[in-house]
């Protein structure tokens, strides 16, 4: 899973990105690397995996990971290819979801490119660039669909739908705001529009707002209202705090957070929110060699989930031995869970659940 961090200059993108990569580099347990200066991989925090590790004392501990890309350099006119604009848009096209950092903190020492704090205008500035780029892509598709109608009238329905999306874009609305049926959602997914990607607005607030109560910040409501219209998510965050705690050991970090009345770091919330934004869940595998979390989309069936581990597992799938995480933990061991009949044998139509602890049986 790849998440792109976007936003205007001086809103806190690099502060957040550095906090993410620092936090990743600090946790010795987790695989972490920086592929390029603007790309970092972090583990998805999952307490269930820690518990399984206590049970199995595995040689290897492998959490799920997320890749963050800091996509800096957006300026007005990006869609016309000015500055780094084109590269910026191409980078966004490759990510699974967008984290749009919006400045909700006031600080006269840090200039805002447009002179004032105005989240609605900032969101609009970026959305306009993405929408203009999407219009080009969609218009090409519309032309193609028109040609197809000449050969087969059945494409008229597709054309009507694309024209409806175009109308939304023409009115400055992102494609994700268009109400779609299931079929239309699938059709829209074939166009790869930037404004159809899932998006999370990270409302970047001051340390004081975080201490005093985030809802006193007047800008948060503005961001929340926009997000609601667009079917987007909102995550209040303070990039400065994240940067401060990113280098701390776990215990120190917990003390620092508790002091502020918080239980979880913003990064953990960010990762979890991204996971749910993308409709992802994890299933777990556990044994002495390794405990591991595997990322799948909600609704994935057992053979396809097995295919995440190895394509042979999917091809030769026989069945899955499944126990719910909570059942396993309350039993204290796999053997007890088996004795109590809580380990189920599931076939190829089984829909995987978040937190399933699984052993796949397969033919090679
Ligand atoms: P970018 O251009 O979007 O990458 O912005 P930076 O991350 O470089 O941040 C610009 C400035 O804003 C830096 O001086 C940061 O220290 C400051 N800044 C970032 N996040 C916050 C925040 O949450 N609160 C406050 N008060 N300042 C912040």
pLDDT in tens, 257-269: 888 888 888 888 8
Q: Which of 275, 360, 352, 364 is nearest to 319 (CA)?
A: 360
Q: What number is the ipTM of this complex? A: 0.93
Contact 130, 195 (CB under 8 A): yes
Q: Which of 204, 243, 239, 273 is nearest to 66 (CA)?
A: 273
Query: Closest Cα to atom 11, ligand 1: which residue?
Result: 10
Copy the structure tokens of residue 91.
């980078």
Strand pairing class (39-43; 65-70): antiparallel
pLDDT for residue 37: 66
The reported pTM is: 0.85
Q: How far is the CA of 272 from the centre of ligand 1 (A)?
A: 23
- Distance between CA 192 and CA 196 in Å, rounded? 7
Extents of the domains making up the chain: 2-277, 299-362
Q: How far is the CA of 302 from the centre of ligand 1 (A)?
A: 44
Backbone dihedral angles phi then psi of residue 255, each to the nearest 5 degrees: -65, -45
The fold for domain 2-277 equals: Rossmann fold (3.40.50)
* pLDDT tens digits for range 211-267: 887 888 899 999 999 999 888 999 999 999 998 888 888 889 889 888 888 888 888
Query: Closest Cα to atom 7, ligand 1: which residue?
Result: 12
The fold for domain 299-362 equals: Ubiquitin-like (UB roll) (3.10.20)
Is 335 one of the annotated binding-site residues?
A: no
Whether 204 lines ligand 1, by a CB cut-off of 6 Å, is: yes
- Distance between CA 350 and CA 275 in Å, rounded? 22
* pLDDT tens digits for range 301-312: 999 999 999 999
DSSP string for 225-257: HHHHHHT-EEEEE-HHHHHHHTTS-HHHHHHHH
194 three-class SS: helix
Contact 142, 166 (CB under 8 A): yes
Q: Give the mean model confidence (pLDDT) for residues 186-209.
A: 93
**Which DSSP symbol is given to 351?**
B
pLDDT for residue 29: 45
Choose one of 8, 11, 12, 19 to mutate for the ligand 1 pocket test, by most ligand atoms within 8 angstroms of C-beta. Answer: 12
Is 12 one of the annotated binding-site residues?
A: yes
Is 287 one of the annotated binding-site residues?
A: no
Burial of 224 (0-12, 13-18, 19+ CB in 10 A): middle
């Amino acid at each position: 899973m790849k998440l792109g961090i976007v936003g205007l200059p001086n809103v806190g993108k690099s502060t957040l990105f550095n906090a993410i990569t620092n936090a990743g580099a600090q946790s010795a347990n987790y695989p972490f690397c920086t592929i390029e200066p603007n790309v970092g991989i972090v583990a998805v925090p999952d307490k269930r995996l820690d518990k399984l590790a206590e049970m199995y004392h595995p040689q290897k501990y492998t959490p799920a990971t997320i890749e963050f890309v800091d996509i800096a350099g957006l300026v007005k006119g990006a869609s016309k290819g000015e500055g780094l604009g084109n590269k910026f848009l191409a980078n966004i096209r490759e990510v699974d979801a967008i984290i749009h950092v919006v400045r909700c903190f006031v600080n006269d020492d840090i200039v805002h490119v447009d002179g004032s704090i105005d989240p609605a205008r900032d969101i609009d500035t970026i959305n306009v660039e993405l929408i203009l780029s999407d219009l080009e892509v969609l218009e090409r598709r519309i032309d193609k669909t028109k040609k197809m109608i000449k050969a087969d009238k059945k494409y008229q329905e597709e054309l009507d739908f694309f024209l409806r999306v175009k109308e939304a874009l023409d009115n400055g609305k992102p494609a994700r705001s268009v109400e779609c049926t299931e079929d239309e959602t699938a059709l829209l997914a074939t166009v790869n529009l930037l404004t159809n990607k899932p998006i999370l607005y990270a409302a970047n607030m001051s340390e004081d707002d975080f201490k005093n109560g985030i809802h006193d910040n007047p800008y948060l409501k503005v961001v929340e209202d926009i997000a609601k219209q667009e079917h987007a998510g909102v995550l209040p965050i303070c990039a400065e705090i994240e940067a401060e705690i990113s280098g701390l050991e776990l215990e120190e970090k917990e003390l620092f957070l508790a002091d502020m009345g918080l239980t979880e770091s913003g990064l953990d919330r960010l990762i979890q929110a991204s996971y749910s934004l993308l409709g992802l869940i994890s299933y777990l595998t556990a044994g002495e060699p390794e405990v591991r979390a595997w990322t799948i989309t909600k609704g994935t069936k057992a053979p396809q989930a097995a295919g995440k581990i190895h394509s042979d597992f999917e091809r030769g799938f026989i069945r899955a031995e499944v126990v719910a995480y909570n059942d396993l933990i309350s039993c204290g061991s796999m053997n007890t869970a088996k004795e109590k009949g809580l380990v189920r044998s599931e076939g190829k139509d089984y829909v995987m659940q978040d937190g399933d602890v699984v052993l796949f049986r397969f033919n090679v």
